Amino acid sequence: MRRGLTLSVIIYFIYGLFFYWYLFMSNDIAIPEAYKGTAADPETFMNARELMLTEEYSNIKNFLYFVLIPFEWFIFFVFLIVGGSKWLQKASTTATSVSFIQTGLYFFWLSLLVNVISFPVEWLSYQISLSYNISTQATGDWINDQIIDFFVNFLLMWIMMAVLYTLIRKFKKRWWLYAWLLSVPFSLFLMFIQPVILDPLYNEFYPLQDKELEKKILSYAEQANIPADHVYEVDMSEKTNALNAYVTGIGDNSRIVLWDTTLEQLTEDEILFIMAHEIGHYVMHHIYIGIAGYLVLSFVGLYLIYRLMNLIVDRWGSYFKVTEVSDLSSLPLFLLLLGMLSFISSPAENYVSRFQEKSADMYAIEMTDNPEAAVMSFQELSRAGLSEVHPPALVKFFKYSHPTLLERINYIGETEEE
């Protein structure tokens, strides 16, 4: 156990040291010489202070992202090898004979442990966002969101883990397949209820107050056959200075949403371009392509987890204090493997997403016939969120679900020239 702990700490330290060196010491994020002085050059639309803050904030944010990704895996790994998972399973099964309640008790305390250990880093991230004027959220409101997050995630995961371990106990060789089949309707259900039940837990939504703008956006939506009678405005200025807009939900629960920060900081033409972009996703059925991609990845992922869990428990079960895959004590191992496989698959998911985002940009250009507004909106997105125009390669590879702002401004500029 001591060797395992020592080795894991060393590996984690080297991993963090690498990304510190990569982000703060070795990377030159200056844009290529060919783009100097163009609309994609941040020096043409940011002042010296904004350029400095963007570089500082982006490096810190990216470093925290890469360091926090394996932090939760590290917690699960340590919890397993010190016997915490075995002890928590015993406590849960002693408290009640009802397996559904056992899973709930086990997962509640495991979630609470992870959240308590992670809280200082989450707090640091929040304070950094405040210091760079990205977040505007009051401390009490931020804590309230964390509590809502905890209980929403706990309740959803409790249901999923209870069903999962029931399947593992009943179908030792096919549980992964049945879990995958059940995940499909459950995911669609969550997508259906998200706009009307989950999102309002965090923010207040109300019909867009600018009726002339709403009329123009709804005319775009009508062309795209989006079943929407209203455009919704959400009060995000109490939480952030960043900008966003989106189309969410499926079927009759589809909603077109604008952040109030977007309304305050962008011109009408820029807002119309952004909304046309979001409508483009709907028109090109990107949400359904995303669902199909999720089905493929989750099918492969659950099968790999099934194989890996059997292998690990058979060979190193005594090391991790796990006797059977069907034991609740194996849950941290399941979550550890799920997190690792999700991270490994993220570059492929991001690549497909970047292609879709470019397609939506092109759709919006065609619909609005206003490439200048598109370029201006991207520049304002960069300035408001202190976002890098030309991020380091590994950051783009693992984090960016959108093309970089350099790429977006550049290909829209090329469209304008044509």
Q: 143: which 2 tokens?
A: 């804590």
Strand partners, 234: 205, 259
CA 380/CA 263 separation, integer angstroms:
12
Strand partners, 248: 255
Which residues in 355-382 are b (16+ Cβ under 10 Å) and which e? ebbbbbbbbbbebbebbebbbbbbbbbb
Q: In what order do the strands lie in the sheet with 205-207?
A: 205-207, 231-234, 255-259, 245-248
Selecting among 233, 270, 278, 407, the annotated active-site residue is 278
Q: Give yes or no: 268 in active site.
A: no
Could you give the residue numbers annotated as active site? 278
